[in-house]
Amino acid sequence: MTQPSAANHLTIRFLGHSTFLFSAGEHKVLVDPFIEGNPKSPVTLQEALSWGVSAVLISHAHGDHWGNALDFGKAGVPIIGTGEIGGYAGKHGAANAIGANIGGTVKGEWGQVTFTPAWHSSSFPDGTYGGMPTGLIIEMGGARVYFAGDTSRFSDMALIGEGGLDLAMLPIGDHYTMGPQEAAKCLDLLKPKAALPMHYGTFPGLTGDPQVFAAEGEKRGVKVHLPQPGESVSV
């Protein structure tokens, strides 16, 4: 695994819920593009489509993660996910869909993504099976970032952290994923330099408190970023 660079040049913009824009140099990558229907989104779909992103990464097929993937796919942007996600995207008009699977890595001029397990479920809004849910190890701009997707804590997170992590992005909303205290325990396994909570506060059921996660991270000596929708962090 690649060790994180001492001089990273990656910016991550929070777009609400679990949607993020990764930017490094001339490249932009969108992760879980839930824009329309996302009450926390600070941007419109038309604005996002104008960014000229190099790829769209999908952790799993639920509507609040799959989101507007097809709008980008039909515009020729590569959609990268599991084989089931790539196949579904291709059948529904995405021009450059790429299907991979757990343990696999997909590379591009922008960087690379490696798929990890996640403990959750995955189906498209129309009920079609979406394959296994995944986490994403994104290497871009000299940084190595773990985007956990929707998941609970699991012991193999220790293996994910072995290569070193500049940032761990973890769901804290509870009900559909782990809550903030359980997510903080993941930091003991992942051992990242910094962390960022996601998948909270978007809908009434997502009650996890980011301040609780931040306090637990501080106890562990992990810097926790708490961007508001529209704000960016540097990694």
- Whether 199 shows a pLDDT value over 50: the answer reads yes
pLDDT value for 6: 46
Token digits of residue 25 = 């140099």
- Whether 4 shows a pLDDT value over 60: the answer reads no
| Confidence label for 3 from pLDDT (cuts 50, 70 and 90) | very low
Counting residues of the chain whose pLDDT is more than 70, the rounded percentage is: 97
Is position 76 within any domain? yes
Query: Nearest CA to 123 among 175, 73, 74, 84?
Result: 84
Q: Which whole number is the average pLDDT over 38-63?
A: 98
| Confidence label for 7 from pLDDT (cuts 50, 70 and 90) | low
Is position 232 within any domain? no
- pLDDT tens digits for 137-169? 999 999 999 999 999 999 999 999 999 999 999
pLDDT value for 16: 98
Q: Which whole number is the average pLDDT over 9-26?
A: 98
Domain that holds residue 165: 11-227
Q: Tell me the pLDDT of the chain averaged across its residues.
A: 96
Is position 4 within any domain? no
The set of residues, in sequence order, having a beta carbon less than 8 Å from that of 53 and lying 6+ positions away, is 21, 28, 29, 30, 72, 77
Residue 119 has a CB neighbour count (10 Å cut-off) of: 17
- pLDDT tens digits for 69-114? 999 999 999 999 999 999 999 999 999 999 999 999 999 999 999 9
Is position 233 within any domain? no
- Whether 62 shows a pLDDT value over 60: the answer reads yes
Is position 2 within any domain? no
The set of residues, in sequence order, having a beta carbon less than 8 Å from that of 140 and lying 6+ positions away, is 10, 22, 24, 27, 29, 110, 111, 112
Is position 162 within any domain? yes
Q: Which whole number is the average pLDDT over 177-205?
A: 98
* Backbone phi and psi for residue 149, each to the nearest 5 degrees, phi listed first: 65, -155
The count of structural domains within the chain is 1
Look at the block and give the residue holding tokens 């001492």.
Answer: 6
Is position 234 within any domain? no
Which CATH number covers residue 200?
Answer: 3.60.15.10
- Whether 1 shows a pLDDT value over 70: the answer reads no
Cα(151)–Cα(133) distance, rounded to whole angstroms?
Answer: 8
| Confidence label for 8 from pLDDT (cuts 50, 70 and 90) | confident
Is position 175 within any domain? yes
Output the pTM of the full model.
0.96
